[in-house]
């Protein structure tokens, strides 16, 4: 632009200076002066384009590489986030709280098939059974603490490693005996009082066992009725149990609980494979080592009657037993 202004100035002044001399040859030097401007501009443009190609051209080539690098960095950050989240979940489930489900009726009337509960992991210490897949990185049991009579505990089956849930009845040194369905602890019968019957609706998760009386209630629903009793341990802990009547496991012992072992029973006395039955895969548990303890049942987080279908989302809610959710154990 400056070159064009200078040329315009020459065109304005030269005719004035040359009035007394000779006519300006517009096709001569003056035309040559105008032609120098575009040539110079062309050279400058060419020079600029060369500079762009020399400098900016590399940026254009590098742009996809930079974008690729940023994408890789983004995925790397996401992977780190996922790993950190997985580590937090692992620590939380191993040492704080962990969910468990109830797949049977051995703990009726307190726990129903289809209940989902949260267990606290710290009350009895930590062992390899506290970790996912029973990873053997914890020697023995650390920060060990003995449960109390009446605690509802989750533990690993001594033979097949399955998660089981039962109630603590006998501690190390206790003498356990059972006569005609009456538990005798250290020579003293545990108080057992008949209370109102236990009635539970029949569902996909609940059928009437042999000790139940099938009925139809006033609403037309099929239910199961069981005889229910309340037991009270020497430490004052009370809980309800079911008793079907005379059964094969109504007599046991006497037996002294060895050191570091526990005598555990299901509240559904005639429908429970517990410490009265010798340990066998998918069977009885015998006297359970305390090292096999996983946690203490704490709170109910969900309960379903088993009628829900994944393809029908509304049944997820209709199948829920809302009155059981949030109950403490």
Q: pLDDT grade, residue 65 (50/70/90)?
A: low
Pair (305, 273) in one structural domain: yes
Active site residue 307: no
300 domain residue, yes or no: yes
Angle at 86 between CA 85 and CA 88, to 5 degrees: 65
Total count of domains within the chain = 2
The better pLDDT of the pair 313, 54 is held by: 313
140 domain residue, yes or no: yes
Domain span at residue 267? 96-324
Pair (251, 227) in one structural domain: yes
The better pLDDT of the pair 267, 86 is held by: 267
Say how far apart CA 247 and CA 245 lie, in whole Å: 6
Pair (175, 132) in one structural domain: yes
Q: Give the position of tokens 């309340």.
A: 230
Could you tell me which of 239, 142, 246, 151 has the C-alpha nearest to residue 193? 239
**Which among 106, 127, 130, 272 is annotated as catalytic?**
106
Pair (81, 147) in one structural domain: no
Coil, helix or strand at residue 210: coil
22 domain residue, yes or no: no
In this model, does residue 83 exceed pLDDT 50?
yes
Structure tokens at 167: 């109630």
291 domain residue, yes or no: yes
51 domain residue, yes or no: no
The better pLDDT of the pair 235, 67 is held by: 235
43 domain residue, yes or no: no
Least confident of 4-8, 207-211, 266-270, 275-279: 4-8
Average pLDDT over residues 66-79: 74
Mean pLDDT of the chain: 84
Pair (110, 140) in one structural domain: yes
Among 20-24, 49-53, 132-136, which range has the highest average pLDDT? 132-136
Among 71, 95, 119, the domain boundary falls at 95
Say how far apart CA 152 and CA 147 lie, in whole Å: 9
Pair (143, 250) in one structural domain: yes
Q: pLDDT grade, residue 91 (50/70/90)?
A: confident
**pLDDT by residue (tens digit) across 215-234?**
999 999 999 999 999 999 99
Average pLDDT over residues 95-99: 90
53 domain residue, yes or no: no
Q: How many CA atoms lie within 13 A of 53 on its CB side?
A: 6
The better pLDDT of the pair 240, 45 is held by: 240
Pair (90, 235) in one structural domain: no
Among 73, 95, 117, the domain boundary falls at 95
Q: pLDDT grade, residue 76 (50/70/90)?
A: confident
237 Cβ contact partners less than 8 Å away, ≥ 6 residues apart: 148, 149, 150
Provide the β-strand partners of residue 310. none
Pair (146, 202) in one structural domain: yes
54 domain residue, yes or no: no
153 Cβ contact partners less than 8 Å away, ≥ 6 residues apart: 124, 147, 165, 166, 167, 168, 262, 264, 293, 294, 295, 296, 297
pLDDT number for residue 35: 42
CATH code: domain of residue 320 = 2.10.109.10
Pair (218, 75) in one structural domain: no
Q: pLDDT grade, residue 32 (50/70/90)?
A: very low
Q: pLDDT grade, residue 131 (50/70/90)?
A: confident
Q: Are strands 252-256 and 175-179 parallel, antiparallel or unpaired?
A: antiparallel
**Which among 130, 166, 272, 303 is annotated as catalytic?**
166
pLDDT number for residue 101: 95
The better pLDDT of the pair 61, 323 is held by: 323
Pair (152, 90) in one structural domain: no
pLDDT number for residue 68: 66
Pair (116, 207) in one structural domain: yes
Say how far apart CA 158 and CA 286 lie, in whole Å: 8
Active site residue 106: yes
Provide φ and ψ at 25, rounded to 5°: -85, 100
Say how far apart CA 247 and CA 129 lie, in whole Å: 34
Radius of gyration of the chain (CA): 43
**pLDDT by residue (tens digit) across 150-187?**
999 999 999 999 999 999 999 999 999 999 999 999 99
Least confident of 2-11, 99-108, 239-248: 2-11
Say how far apart CA 67 and CA 266 lie, in whole Å: 62
Could you tell me which of 153, 163, 166 has the C-alpha nearest to residue 101? 163
Torsion over CA: 145, 146, 152, 154 (sign)? positive
Q: Is 105 exposed, middle or buried (0-12, 13-18, 19+ CB in 10 A)?
A: buried
Average pLDDT over residues 17-29: 41
pLDDT number for residue 324: 97
pLDDT number for residue 46: 47
Pair (63, 147) in one structural domain: no
pLDDT number for residue 74: 82
Q: Is 46 exposed, middle or buried (0-12, 13-18, 19+ CB in 10 A)?
A: exposed
Over pLDDT 90: what percentage of the chain?
Answer: 66
């Amino acid at each position: 632009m400056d070159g064009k202004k200078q040329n315009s100035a020459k065109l304005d002044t030269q005719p004035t200076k040359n009035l007394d001399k000779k006519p300006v040859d517009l096709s001569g030097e003056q035309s040559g002066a105008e032609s120098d401007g575009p040539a110079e501009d062309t050279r400058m443009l060419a020079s600029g384009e060369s500079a762009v190609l020399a400098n900016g051209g590399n940026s254009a080539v590098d742009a996809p590489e930079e974008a690729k690098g940023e994408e890789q960095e983004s995925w790397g950050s996401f992977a780190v986030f996922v790993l950190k989240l997985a580590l937090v979940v692992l620590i939380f489930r191993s040492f704080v709280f962990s969910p468990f489900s109830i797949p049977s009726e051995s703990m009726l009337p307190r726990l129903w098939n289809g209940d989902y509960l949260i267990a606290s992991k710290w009350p009895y210490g930590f062992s390899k059974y506290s970790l996912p897949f029973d990873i053997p990185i914890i020697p023995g049991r650390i920060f060990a603490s003995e449960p109390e009579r009446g605690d509802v505990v989750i533990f690993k089956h001594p033979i097949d490693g399955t998660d089981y849930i039962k109630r603590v009845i006998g501690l190390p040194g206790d003498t356990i005996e059972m006569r005609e369905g009456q538990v005798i602890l250290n020579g003293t019968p545990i108080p057992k009082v008949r209370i109102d019957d236990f009635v539970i609706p029949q569902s996909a998760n609940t059928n009437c066992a042999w000790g139940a009386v099938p009925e139809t209630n006033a609403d037309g629903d099929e239910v199961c009725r069981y005889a229910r009793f309340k037991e009270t341990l020497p430490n004052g802990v009370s809980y309800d149990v079911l008793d079907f009547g005379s059964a094969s496991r109504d007599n046991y012992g006497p037996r002294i609980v060895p050191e570091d072992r526990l005598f555990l029973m299901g509240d559904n006395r005639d429908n429970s494979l517990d410490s009265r039955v010798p340990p066998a895969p998918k069977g009885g548990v015998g006297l359970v080592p305390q090292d096999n303890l996983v946690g203490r049942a704490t709170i109910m987080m969900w309960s379903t009657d088993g009628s829900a279908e994944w393809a029908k989302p509304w049944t997820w809610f209709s199948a829920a037993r809302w009155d059981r959710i949030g109950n403490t154990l």
